[in-house]
Every structure is written in structure tokens, then in C-alpha cells.
Structure 1
Amino acid sequence: MTTTAFLQTRQSARIINGVHTEVLVTGFRDKILVLVTQYGKIGSLLHVTMQSQTMTTSDTLSSSSNNVNFLLGSHSPLYQLYATNFSTIISSENPNEGRSLLIGLALKVNKKNNNNNNDNIDDEFEFDKELFEQVELMVKECKVW
């Protein structure tokens, strides 16, 4: 009798900018769960619907933008950027991947020191390139697609 695993899980942990960071990726039949935490919590929860990609005549991938929905927590543009990046990583490594993503993000982000009363949320948080790149590498290491 042959048994097929229903899910596949990978995880990674490292210190990024002096903060312990963990990534857990689990592949289910219908979804891929990606958890990234520096707090030991799920944090903000996002759902990303993957759009199918097609090959163009020049052998490059063409895709429409993925649909990102915030389910719980902060509606941070930074978190939307992380979610979009994760879906781009997955679709570039496996263009036939059709499962949607459920993403939990709990990252320590630095607030900008804005003295002007600008209520634009896009300007509220600093972009930490080192954190972004390291998290991207960790997600790639935890490939289940």
C-alpha cells in the first residue's frame, strides 16, 4: 500500500539584525502556509491568490499581479510587499503552482521619525533591506512548491 503525505513542512531560523527570526512553510493540497516571525506569534494574516503565468515568445514569464487580502492584523504596505514577493518567488520557481498562500507576518519593523503629521501609512515604516533579503532567502530555503 502506497501512502502519500498530505503536507510537507520546512523551517529555518537565524539571527537577522540581532533578532531571532523563524520561517515555517507548510504545503497543503490547496494552500501554502508561510509564517515569518520575530515574536513567536502568527501576527498579521494575509491571503494571496496566485495568478497563473504563461511563457511569452521570448521564453520569459508573463503574469498578472497577485491578489493580496489582509485577513487579520496590520494592513501595512510593507507586509503587502512581503506577501507579493513570496508569491513572486513561488511562481518564478514553479510557474504551474496554483495553490493560494496564507501568510503570517510578525516582524519587528522600525517606525520612521516623521515630524510632519503625515498620515500616509506608506511613509510610517522604514524599509529594512537586510531583513527583507534574509527573509526572502529563508523562504527559498523552505521550498515546498
Structure 2
Amino acid sequence: MAAESIVRSKQAAEAIGGILTEVVCTIFSDHIFVVVTQYGKIGTLISVTPHIVSNEVGKPTFSTKILMGKDEPLTHVYAKHLVTFVCEESGNKSVLLALALKDVNLDNIKSIKQLIQSCRLW
């Protein structure tokens, strides 16, 4: 009988905006690690954490924190847009997002989000 791995991972790659974009999603017991790269490197590391108010009904709020890399306002926006659905669908697990993008625009962000969804493990 083969032992099942504690850590599960799934990856996908697609040309987005003419640039090869790679996504790797790895699920751990309390976090999900998502790598999105167009450079083949990790790039900026962002923590996306859901906050739930116990008395309030509705969706959680999310905070982002740059752990490594350049702290720019748009990086926080991209991170929230790309992985808040991962937090929600996984039962409000925190997400660690590694982001290294060459070309960022709204259409590319939407395509990258779909690529992340194709790696669904949660």
C-alpha cells in the first residue's frame, strides 16, 4: 500500500500575453503556497490572511503583507485579486503568494487567476 504524501502540489503553465506563465499550488495543513512566475523565479513573497469576525455574517476581510521583495501598493491589489478566492474556498486558510510578473494588466491578471483555478487542490 503506497503512502499518501502529506504535501500535495499541482502545477500548470500557459502563455499569457505572449509570456510563459507558470503556476504551482501546494497545500499544507494550515497554509496554501501559490507561485505565479513569468521569470522562473519566486519574486515577491506576499502573505494573504483572512480575518473573520465571529459575530458578523458575511465574507472575511483580507490583509496582505509583503514578506520579501518590493512593497508597492499595486502588489497588494494584485495579491488580493489573485488569491482571495483560494482563502475562501479552502475554509479560510492563509495563502503565501510568490509573484514574479513581467507584464501586468487587467486581462493578464484575469487569465492568471483562471490558471490558478486550474491548479485547485483545496
Q: Deviations over 1:74-127 (max 9, x none)?
A: 212232122212342124434xx2321111000013xxxxxxxxxxxxxxxxx6
Judging changes above 3 Å, is the alpha-carbon distance between structure 1 residues 34 and 6 closer, same or farther for their aligned structure 2 residues? same
How far, CA to CA, are the matches of 1:86 and 1:43 in structure 2? 15
Q: TM-score when scaled to structure 2?
A: 0.85
Structure with the higher strand share, 1 or 2:
2
2:78 counterpart of 1:101: no
Match of 1:120 in 2: none
Note if contact 1:66-1:87 (Cα within 8 Å) is conserved in structure 2. no
Computed over aligned residues only, the root mean square deviation of the Cα atoms, in angstroms, reads: 2.3
Match of 1:88 in 2: 84
Note if contact 1:53-1:91 (Cα within 8 Å) is conserved in structure 2. no
2:74 counterpart of 1:78: yes
Match of 1:41 in 2: 41
How far, CA to CA, are the matches of 1:68 and 1:38 in structure 2? 22
Q: How many positions carry a matched residue from both structures?
A: 121
Trace 1:1-145 onto structure 2 (pairs within 5 A).
Answer: 3-52=3-52, 56=57, 62-94=58-90, 97-109=91-103, 128-145=105-122
Identity of aligned residues (%): 33
Equivalent position SS for 2:61: coil
Answer with 1 or 2: which has the greater Rg: 1
Residue identity opposite 1:38 in structure 2: Q
How far, CA to CA, are the matches of 2:68 and 2:20 in structure 1? 23
Note if contact 1:53-1:63 (Cα within 8 Å) is conserved in structure 2. no
User: Structure 2: which 5+ runs fail to align?
Assistant: none
Note if contact 2:11-2:23 (Cα within 8 Å) is conserved in structure 1. yes
User: Structure 1: which 5+ runs fail to align?
Assistant: 57-61, 110-126
Equivalent position SS for 2:51: coil
Equivalent position SS for 1:40: coil
Q: Deviations over 1:10-69 (max 9, x none)?
A: 11101111111101100011210000000000000011112348895xxxxx22321110
